[in-house]
Amino acid sequence: MRVRFTDGGAVREVEAVPGERLLDVARRDGQPLEGTCNGELACATCHVIVAAEDFDRLPPASEEEEDMLDLAPDARRTSRLACQIVLTPALDKLSVRLPTSSA
């Protein structure tokens, strides 16, 4: 399966294995996603913006994730924390962008 990192018009497709966290896939690819707390829901530096058309494919965020997203700079309606997204085949070709990228 693959995930897509978009930046402006550029799309980068990256191989991922079901069961991996999106945070780990992004790190392996060298995306500038910090993930300082490594999934403890304590930092929000793993914030990604999910493509609107893909957002409903994700399981809903937990209350704890929502609380952290409230603190994330530039959070949007389709914002999620990459450490909380566990990839499954149903999420193939999920598109996300980093808040720092151009829309």
Residues from 83 through 102 that contact ligand FES (CB under 6 A):
83
Beta carbon nearer to ligand FES, 50 or 81: 81
1 three-class SS:
coil
- Cβ proximity to ligand FES, 79 vs 95, nearer residue: 79
Residue 50's nearest CA partner among 83, 98, 11 is 98
Q: Which residue is nearest to ligand FES (CB)?
A: 83
Among 2, 27, 39, 51, binds ligand FES (CB under 6 A): 39
What's the rounded Cα separation, in Å, for the pair 11 and 75?
A: 21
Contact 20, 9 (CB under 8 A): no
> 27, 38, 61, 99: which one contacts ligand FES (CB under 6 A)?
38
37 binds ligand FES (CB under 6 A): yes
> Distance (Å, rounded) from C-alpha 4 to C-alpha 26?
10
